[in-house]
Amino acid sequence: MHTVANLIGSEWRVATGPVEDIPNPATGQKIAELPHAGVAEIDAAVEAAVRAQRDWGETPAPDRAQVLFRFKQILERELESIAKVITAENGKTLQESRGDVRRGIDVVDFACGAPTGLQGPRLDQIARGIDMELTRFPVGVVAGITPFNFPVMIPLWMLAPALAAGNAFILKPSQRTPMSAVALVECAVEAGLPAGVVQLVHGAKDTVDRLLAHPDVDAISFVGSAPVAKYIYETSASHGKRSQALGGAKNHMIVMDDAEIEPTIDAVISSAFGMAGQRCLAGSVAVGVGKVGEVLARELADAAGELKVGPGDDASTQMGPVIRDERRKELADYIDQGIAGGARLVRDGRDLLGSDGFYLGPTVFDDVASDSHLWRDELFGPILSVATTDDLDAAIELMNASSFGNMASIFTTSGDHARRFKRHAEAGMIGVNIGIAAPMAPFPFSGWKGSFFGDLHTQGEDAWRFYTRTKVTTTRWFRHEVEERLR
């Protein structure tokens, strides 16, 4: 039985707090124990990070980039072994776990460009005899609070640019997937990061609250549910910290009646049921516009029924389990509520409820009303709702009525439809004939509305801005006046 440890300073320590069991979602069997860190351990991690950051922040940016290059090489080498850890404790397929690591490596690759990315603007002769320049400095100690669904990619969204910018980083991963975080941090240590620059502390709300309140933690990065994101943002602000808090989603996929139906169905199914719907870019509402609305739910239900559900380490599996049994029960309750509320169940995934592991099959509802919990709440599971409208304007109005604004997609062969959608959809990430409109590392992950709290997003140029503080220096030299006096 594996006991998950924290990294405090340069020492791996087993915490002394409450112990939580870590099961394999595919079997329900316990695979590890996770003791939560206490206040003394968290404070020791912060103290070590503060000490280490002083020297790390003085390290030249090209030298920091070299450490990140080594980090990337180690992640490439360990990709398969890390993917197996993710599948064991998260449940998603090995292919999805490999993608998790791969997309994280992309961010490390981006962060290796720190010597260029951290450059500030300079203007010679902004006024007569005066020059001006902007210089970026590290924020200090940054804490990252990350979810279970991408236990490597999302920490790397934060860790890689934060380190490249000269900060020390404390990772508080999801208590549901702690072993992936350990594997990631081990790679960072092997890359040659000085002791204390990266710290790892495990736990739940008490751990988070201590990091939020600690006076030596300067910034907080968070990804999770909308209510917690709001709490993180408000609490960080009350303690004078900068924060970025990525929240939930209710991503709509509008299917026009001019869309190419077969690739559209494939894209919607992949978006809705990949990773068992447990991702913030999962499409959870499909809106059929015009005549396609008459057949959309049936086509989706037929395709969903063909997915093979099973353990993630089986190469033939197309959809794995959800993360915990209690989550599976909550999702089953949503299905019951949907039926009671008048939605039409066209594909029922509850036939897997009695199986070993935390399985819920892909589920499709038709005729979902906009006042129902199916439409309104972030379900974060393999449940797809289908609605219909007469025209694109009505579909956009339906979508924009949601309190979330993470991603939105349209499937169409019309450039006019796509352009109208891009201009009027109230979401930060837009897909055109794309089911999962995930920005690559050079672009920000830019949710809107209740999907994001803060000003600067993760990834891209926003990452450099978030993880640095700027100084603007105005310079004048009096050479001519001095020479005149000397004469």
List the catalytic residues.
280
Q: Which residues contact 5 (CB under 8 A, 6 or more apart)?
A: 12, 13, 14, 15, 182
Exposed/middle/buried for 243, CB within 10 Å: 0-12, 13-18, 19+? buried
Longest dimension (CA), the chain: 97
CA gap 280, 458 in Å, rounded:
14
CA gap 487, 449 in Å, rounded:
66
DSSP at 276: G
- CA 432 distance to own-chain centroid: 21
Alpha helices, DSSP H, located in 252-345 = 261-273, 296-305, 325-340
Q: Which residues contact 487 (CB under 8 A, 6 or more apart)?
A: none
CA gap 286, 4 in Å, rounded:
40
CA gap 383, 398 in Å, rounded:
19
Q: Which residues pair with 471 in a beta bridge?
A: 135
For residues 433 and 267, is the Cβ–Cβ distance under 8 A? yes
φ, ψ for residue 171, nearest 5 deg: -100, 125
Token pair for 356: 């070993």
For residues 247 and 230, is the Cβ–Cβ distance under 8 A? yes
Number of H helices, E strands in the chain: 16, 23
CA gap 367, 283 in Å, rounded:
17
Q: Which residues pair with 255 in a beta bridge?
A: 288, 411
CA gap 202, 41 in Å, rounded:
10
- Looking up tokens 């690559």 gives 440
For residues 309 and 14, is the Cβ–Cβ distance under 8 A? no
Q: Which residues contact 259 (CB under 8 A, 6 or more apart)?
A: 292, 411, 412, 413, 433
CB neighbours (10 Å) of residue 283?
A: 29
